[in-house]
Amino acid sequence: MKRVLFVSMIGEPGRYDPAIYADIPGGDDEVHWVLLQLRELGLADRVDYRGVRICRGEALPAPGEADAVILGGSYHSVHDDLDWQRRTRDWLERYRGVGGPLLGICGGHQMVCEIDGATVEPLASGVMAGTMPVTLTDAGRAHFLFSGCREEPVFHWANEERVARPPDGALVLATRPEIPCAALDHGGGWYSVQFHPEATHRSMAVSWRPQHPEYAENYRPAPQGGRLMENFLKGTGIV
């Protein structure tokens, strides 16, 4: 079985209140969330899955010990430039050297794009929160990442920043108003998306309830997320 590594960057202790996730299976442990999704997709027994909570001090393995990487989102901005963020960037550069595939999600998407020279900037509207569609480009409609998805697939969003323009050499697969880089193919088996295909609508909704309960009502089930995660693992030969 191929080794799949999920790198959780959700947030340092104190960045958010973990109690808000009390009713979510696994609590605030994203590593468990992804495991549950793999089980729902029937893929958990077909990969050697592990997770590292880098923002909680857990150590990343040697780059060659992962056959595929999923880089999660974060309550932190890439501009925070925290020690664990710097270590993650360094590790990603070394992982790229071994040639393994990667899927960056939300903050992970922004980190990969920043590594490749793109600018991450605040959203003019301040925040994007809800379950909303993307518009696939011609390249996106033909891309394995969106295979089996409808013309305007719907995903969960929760971001206050965006990638202003694609890094040099990256192929834009999807956009939406104010988000010119909703999904990218960076080449070399690296892909990234601004939305959250790994999360449930419930886990997204509770993240807003303490300070913006009105946003919590914007989420609904989005099964296309699971489809994209499965497409990533199948399209890169992991399963």
Count CB neighbours of 45 within 10 A.
Answer: 9
User: Is it the case that residue 150 has pLDDT exceeding 90?
Assistant: no
88: confidence class by pLDDT, cuts 50, 70, 90? very high
pLDDT of 211 over the 90 cut = no
Dist. CA 239–CA 232, nearest whole Å: 9
2, amino acid identity: K
List the one residue out of 182, 96, 106, 101 whose CA is nearest residue 137.
Answer: 182
Q: Which two tokens stand for residue 69?
A: 């990487």
The superfamily CATH assigns to domain 2-235 is: Class I glutamine amidotransferase (GATase) domain (3.40.50.880)
Mean pLDDT of 207-219: 93
The DSSP symbol for 229 reads: H
State the burial class of residue 180 (Cβ atoms within 10 Å of its Cβ: 0-12, 13-18, 19+): middle
Average pLDDT rounded to a whole number, residues 62-85: 98
Alpha-carbon span 208 to 223, nearest angstrom = 21
Give the mean pLDDT of 100-118. 99
Q: What is the pLDDT of residue 210?
A: 87
